[in-house]
Structure 1
Amino acid sequence: MSFIQSAPQLGDPYRDDRVLRSWLARVLPEAHLRTVEPDFVALAEYAQRAYARQTTTTPTEPVLVNWDVWGRRVDRIELTEAWREGPSIAAWYGLVADGHDRSLGEYARVQQFAKVYLYHAASAFYSCPLAMTDGVATVLRDAPNSALRGRILPHLLSRDPATFWISGQWMTENAGGSDVGDSEATARRDADGSWRLNGRKWFTSAINAEFALALARPEGNHIGADGLALFGIETRHADGSWNGITIDRFKDKLGTRELPTAEIHLHGTRAELVGDTRHGVRAIAPVLQVTRLWNAFGSLSTIQRCLALTRDYARRRKAFGKPLSEQPLFADTMAGREAEFEAAFHLAMEVALLLGRVESGSGDERDAALQRLLTPLAKLWVCTLGVHVASETVEAFGGIGYLEDSGIPLLLRDAQVFPIWEGAGNVQALDF
């Protein structure tokens, strides 16, 4: 009978994670951990179910339907199963709300990012709009436009799937990526005082979001970053039609294939000014302090998934008379990756703890300075490490790791996005 190699199995992402559990036990008060631990357990169980689904079903991608059968422009988006589940998971477990829950004190961000860490690898990158939603909520929390804040923020922080919204951040245009000062989108103020945006946004992730922050240049403002203003957009009208938005196409990306990323045009899109008519880049900057940390934790989640699958496979796969896990060179390589992972984990979690202290008011100036300094460093190093570990995971699985239906190449393709999102390596170095 021909040989059949047993496939790797995903253990319990919470109970089996010594690094996560020991860190939480050391940092969180015992009563706090006891209260939130059921959520950690439930998210880990969801991750196991999602992995089982991934390994037994054909991969799917979102579909953009520009026109209906009668010739009407509809730009309808058909999402994958994981994305249809996303709003409920996010709301029930407070994946955004926890970070803004003042009753959690300095541990709000630790609790939140521990959940993000457990959820991301199972999310099919629904974590991407959650990161943006968190960042946008941070901006709106202190926004001068109190009416906008009062109307939108409760949706972004809702724990009810029926009222929960996600948000996008529309900055990238054809002329510039990180150089947002080159933005060409314009803003015109109508006679009734309302604003209308016109232009093209070249890379808009989670185009299905109910809300977005966008940069545009009010007519008459000078060229450059300081001439941009920050606007809030409710993406649809009350009847469900798009608010002056047309979706040109979905991006054909290397990875993150379940994430609907689009090129769009704004045609008189109704928008509200978040602050003043200038300094929009400065106004949206707090988003980056949050989303960069989400990137670090998304990469950590990917690394942990890679290591968990490799460990399990190494016990199942025999070579030269014994399991891979007992081969000295293999064990040495794994030990190196495990050590790097633990260092990355502690760095990211310490930044999360610092952010929680700063936002809760329990931190001092040193905490604020460290948090500002370490955020781009964590994003840079952890996300670069994620690509390296994912690549070595493909190598560890050998020939089968190179086959798409093993699911292993997906880890590498998806990991590659993290060093790019929210500023590539050199941008992080400049911010650091």
Structure 2
Amino acid sequence: MPVLKNQYRSDRVLQTWLTQNMPQDFRGEIDADLDALGAHAAHAWDEARARTPTQPILTRFDAVGNRIDRIESTPVWQRGAEIATRYGLVAAGHEARHGEYARCDQFLRVYLHHIASEFYTCPLAMTDGAATALKASANDALIAHAVPRLTSRDVSTCWLSGQWMTELAGGSDVGNTEAEAWQDGNGHWRLTGRKWFTSAVVGDMALTLARPRGAGPGGHALAMFYLETHAADGSWNGIRIDQLKDKLGTRELATAEIHLDGANAMPVGALDHGVRLIAPMLNVTRIWNAVGALASMRRCVALATAYAHQREAFGKRLIEHPLHAETLADMQAAFEAAFQLVFHLTHLLGRSECGQADSDEQACLRLLTPLAKLWTGKLAVDIASECCEAFGGAGYIENTGIPQLLRDAQVYPIWEGTSNVLALDTLRALGKTGVGPILRSVERCLQARRDSALPQALATAASDIRGSLLDATRWLETHGDDSSRLQAGARALAFSLARAVAAALLWRCAVASHAAGDARPGHALLRFLSCPLSHLSNNAFAPAFDLLDPA
């Protein structure tokens, strides 16, 4: 099996991005932490191969029959809080000292640590999202009480938060939420109902949606509630753990099905429009999802490439076989484009939160968040599948660790909104802003160093990127009055826009790298563009329903 190098020092794409986008003093300040996380990532991979995999264990009753619902985490998870606080995996994004680069600082750390964490980054994502949502809520009491704990760098005071939304009737359609909120005789709010998928029940608090008793149907009548998972005596706060989910992947992460049985809670804001209040949390967790998907891609490419340099077949190393090298290069090129998009998005978030984003940047943050999450989630699955294949039979054997990369990757297109949900969300955002902010953002990328002498291939690539975006604009104009056609094409539109923006950002990187004497980002761009950016078609619309026979 391949041996990984320091995952910070050996990541050429990350190093180039830092050089081109981050101030030198910023890089100097964070370098030691990133180096340590990169070394830990490599060590953790070797450590994981040397031990028997473990999963969380739920013990419902103690020896004399008392209900305790104790969850025992894996050894890696038991060290999770210490690493998260030492390296500021949540805190760094909320600290003012790096200004617009605070979120870049945070997500660079998350990117390096994600695979080694055994998805401990999942509750960290929700913790970050909860802090963000509470800060946006204007609830001064809760902000003062919870946010310092959620963003703490002290392992003795830090909190984890959950985001409990999914129910049997209300998954993506949270308007069907059935959990009920009511007031007891002392005026305290209580929550009753079933939450079907909770991935941070081991945390200290949660934000959740519930319908106040007597409120009408639909999403607008939901309220967002804050609750702490345990009472002062350490017992569960009206929470019963029904079971831990038996999942395809992310098995080290304790995902529970729970019942709320009179859990003590308090509304974060008004007793309606809770979806609007929780939206800042969803935006942040979608970016965490994209960063996690990117980290999985990087791990797959690194392992498959390292293996190709040492494995011999048919008389020479795999890397010396042209077709195998082509396959790996395609994976690398897609990863490089995705990297540019995801970390551009983290910078936009940082600029927005510190008040430096202009109106176009604010609109792009809104548009690119679902686009990046949608595209990187799908891409991570594709690259993980190619990685399994690149290892041949070893890629199908569990104790190599390679199948787990594929099983875990499948969660990225599902968590925080499926591809179709995100595509429709993109349509809603475009309905408010149009495609103009993206067009202008891409044009700014393509104007980078335009007076420099460029290889003809890069000049042609810029035209191809512009052409793809113009195709998307024309498609929207053509079908703007046909809601059925818009919805049916929303997924193709979303992939087209995501790929075009990623290509423009990679073009900007390639131009700067060319000036510095490095042709590799340019080669990655041309390879990425060898597949058409646009997934759209203006052919006559044939309804999908005609093809779908009942089982």
Structure 2 residue runs without a partner (length 5+): 427-551
Displacement of 1:331 in angstroms is 0.6
Q: Which moved more, 1:242-251 or 1:137-146?
A: 137-146
Structure 1 residue runs without a partner (length 5+): 1-6
2:149 alignment partner in structure 1: 155
Displacement of 1:142 in angstroms is 2.1
| AA partner of residue 206 (structure 2) | A
Runs of 4+ in 1 over 3 A off after TM superposition: none
Contact 2:169 2:177 in 1 (8 A): yes
Total equivalences in the alignment: 426
Q: What are the Cα deviations for residues 183-213 of structure 1, in whole angstroms up to 9, with x where unaligned?
A: 1000001233320000000000021010100
1:299 alignment partner in structure 2: 293
Displacement of 1:363 in angstroms is 1.2
How far apart in 1 are the matches of 2:413 and 2:170?
A: 17
1:386 has 2:376 as partner: no
- Aligned-partner SS, 1:14: coil
1:119 alignment partner in structure 2: 113
1:11 has 2:5 as partner: yes
| AA partner of residue 231 (structure 1) | F
Q: What are the Cα deviations for residues 276-305 of structure 1, in whole angstroms up to 9, with x where unaligned?
A: 000011110111111111011101100100
| AA partner of residue 253 (structure 1) | K
Contact 1:11 1:308 in 2 (8 A): no
2:353 alignment partner in structure 1: 359
How far apart in 2 are the matches of 1:46 and 1:163?
A: 24
Displacement of 1:356 in angstroms is 0.5
How far apart in 1 are the matches of 2:12 and 2:2?
A: 19
- Aligned-partner SS, 1:176: coil
Higher helix fraction (1 or 2): 2
2:275 alignment partner in structure 1: 281
| AA partner of residue 239 (structure 2) | I
1:104 has 2:98 as partner: yes
Q: What are the Cα deviations for residues 337-385 of structure 1, in whole angstroms up to 9, with x where unaligned?
A: 1110000000000011111000011111111000110010000111100
2:174 alignment partner in structure 1: 180
Contact 2:5 2:39 in 1 (8 A): no
- Aligned-partner SS, 2:264: strand
How far apart in 2 are the matches of 1:15 and 1:131?
A: 25
Return the TM-score normalized by structure 1.
0.98
Please, which of 196, 211, 216 is the counterpart of residue 210 of structure 2? 216
2:26 alignment partner in structure 1: 32
- Aligned-partner SS, 1:142: helix
Displacement of 1:418 in angstroms is 0.4
Contact 1:87 1:161 in 2 (8 A): yes
How far apart in 2 are the matches of 1:307 and 1:144?
A: 44
Identical-pair percentage: 56
2:404 alignment partner in structure 1: 410
How far apart in 2 are the matches of 1:219 and 1:176?
A: 17
2:47 alignment partner in structure 1: 53
| Equivalences for residues 238-249 of structure 1 within 5 A | 238-249=232-243
Return the TM-score normalized by structure 2.
0.77
Q: What are the Cα deviations for residues 365-412 of structure 1, in whole angstroms up to 9, with x where unaligned?
A: 111000110010000111100000000000000011111111100000
Contact 1:113 1:352 in 2 (8 A): yes
CA RMSD of aligned residues (A): 0.8
Q: What are the Cα deviations for residues 251-282 of structure 1, in whole angstroms up to 9, with x where unaligned?
A: 00000000000000001100011000000111
Displacement of 1:47 in angstroms is 1.1
How far apart in 2 are the matches of 1:89 and 1:332?
A: 38
Displacement of 1:72 in angstroms is 0.3
Contact 1:135 1:288 in 2 (8 A): yes
How far apart in 2 are the matches of 1:328 and 1:237?
A: 62
2:516 alignment partner in structure 1: none
How far apart in 2 are the matches of 1:429 and 1:193?
A: 42
| AA partner of residue 148 (structure 1) | L
Q: State which structure, 1 or 2, has the greater radius of gyration over its C-alpha atoms.
A: 2
How far apart in 2 are the matches of 1:389 and 1:142?
A: 36
- Aligned-partner SS, 2:243: strand
1:233 has 2:218 as partner: no
1:4 alignment partner in structure 2: none
| AA partner of residue 328 (structure 1) | P
Displacement of 1:25 in angstroms is 1.6
Q: Which has the higher contact order (CA 8 A, sep 6+)?
A: 1
How far apart in 2 are the matches of 1:94 and 1:181?
A: 35
| AA partner of residue 167 (structure 1) | S
Displacement of 1:320 in angstroms is 0.9
